[in-house]
Structure 1
């Protein structure tokens, strides 16, 4: 199957402001997006998606009849829609509100106002989520690489799994927290661990330390996925626990591809 390009994209734009709809639509046209449907409410968006779907949803945060989070959850809970990439465009800066979207596995978060370069990168990330491009490794057959994904959010695990599967990985197990991950690590062999940082029972830092201090697992590369700022107090010393790479949420395919090639080629 040929890869989807920007000119093939069918985007559903959900934006309550007439002015903002016109601005964003014009920027999408400049990016040579093929088809753009624009609606102004959550209800209209749900109707449009169930009527004719979309390759990508680009949505504001707040509406008279609901929020983008309600729309995103509706998409993720519908089997026919759950793989649709979702891009948030918002002036919201509260970490707690944005965290809900990051945990749900969205493609990108764009601030208002945003620069064309930001939009281009977000669209490229969305295409990476739609298209499949197998990673080529010197030392491994990518299909045989055994990955353990650890995250307490089901939606986040689904998003990470989709990114990895699009790169050709087929052997993927999941755990809801570090304690469950340790049980799997005792019983099975893995070539890579992708773990969230903030989790109940045992967080990503504790899990990484257990992996590194156990001779049977000390060799396994660890990618930690987090929405924490890289220069935060929590993250400042995290690599001392043996984490090989830090990856921001949203989990961007190009960044992950680079990490995989570096970690699994050593």
Structure 2
């Protein structure tokens, strides 16, 4: 897939901001663009013509960007559309559900051309890999344990792993359930959220490294945590890699290849 093959839907109530986003896309070679002022007409259009990526503001006349992406994820026909938030919003209450639902990127206003290009390239690679009929031989037999208390987040990460060619994926809703799976199954990789009830990601890593029969299994921690002391604690606990939300498809795929196969892209 080439960048000029993308169909992009832009949802932005401000005419000025809408023109800025559209002009930026056109400068990168994207000309198949549909634009909307609000979410409901955009959702209706998605049912007719499915875009490759939705670029949306956070605050829309009829709903928030958070509500929009959740509505998309709840509809099977729209669940796998990549979502990119363009917003000045910095409040955790608004951004965390977007991260959990699987935004491909969160771009600030104003955004740089390089940031936009990076997000679009990651999207193209995700779509291209997902559309391939043959799985990547590198990941054919890989067994992954995916741990996250958010069903939306698990669904998105599962889609990302499937696009990369990984098919053997076991899901756990928290660290406690993950330990039950680890006691009876062997895994090539553990991908875990940090903030979870019962047993969080930090406790899970500690148990894997010090009390399990798989102490050397690679553990990738995915988190939206911003506290530097907590991040330092995660790293010192023995995680193999730390990924920030929103996830970049290219980054996730590269890290998995490095962790499990010791191979760069």
Q: Is 1:54 matched with 2:47?
A: no
Report SS of the residue matched to 1:65. coil
- TM-superposed CA distance for 1:77, in Å, is 0.7
Partner in structure 1 of residue 184 of structure 2? 187
Q: In 2, Cα distance between the equivalents of 1:117 and 1:21?
A: 19
Q: In 2, Cα distance between the equivalents of 1:227 and 1:198?
A: 9
Partner in structure 1 of residue 233 of structure 2? 237
Q: Is 1:42 matched with 2:65?
A: no
TM-score normalized with structure 2 length:
0.93
Which contiguous aligned blocks of 4+ residues in structure 1 show a shift greater than 3 angstroms? 133-136
- TM-superposed CA distance for 1:99, in Å, is 0.9
Structure 2, unmatched stretches of 5+, are none
Q: Is 1:111 matched with 2:103?
A: no
**Equivalent in 230, 246, 250 of residue 246 of structure 2:** 250
Aligned length: 258
Check whether the contact 1:129–1:162 (CA below 8 A) recurs between aligned residues.
no
Check whether the contact 1:194–1:223 (CA below 8 A) recurs between aligned residues.
yes
**Equivalent in 152, 156, 159 of residue 155 of structure 1:** 152
Q: Is 1:80 matched with 2:77?
A: yes
Partner in structure 2 of residue 9 of structure 1? 6
Q: In 2, Cα distance between the equivalents of 1:81 and 1:124?
A: 20
- TM-superposed CA distance for 1:131, in Å, is 1.7
- TM-superposed CA distance for 1:59, in Å, is 0.3
Check whether the contact 1:148–1:174 (CA below 8 A) recurs between aligned residues.
yes
- TM-superposed CA distance for 1:135, in Å, is 5.6
Q: In 1, Cα distance between the equivalents of 2:136 and 2:228?
A: 32
Cα RMSD (Å):
1.5
Structure 1, unmatched stretches of 5+, are none
Q: In 1, Cα distance between the equivalents of 2:145 and 2:127?
A: 22
- TM-superposed CA distance for 1:72, in Å, is 0.8
Q: In 2, Cα distance between the equivalents of 1:128 and 1:233?
A: 34
Check whether the contact 2:119–2:248 (CA below 8 A) recurs between aligned residues.
no
Report SS of the residue matched to 1:234. helix
Q: Is 1:214 matched with 2:207?
A: no
Q: In 1, Cα distance between the equivalents of 2:241 and 2:61?
A: 41
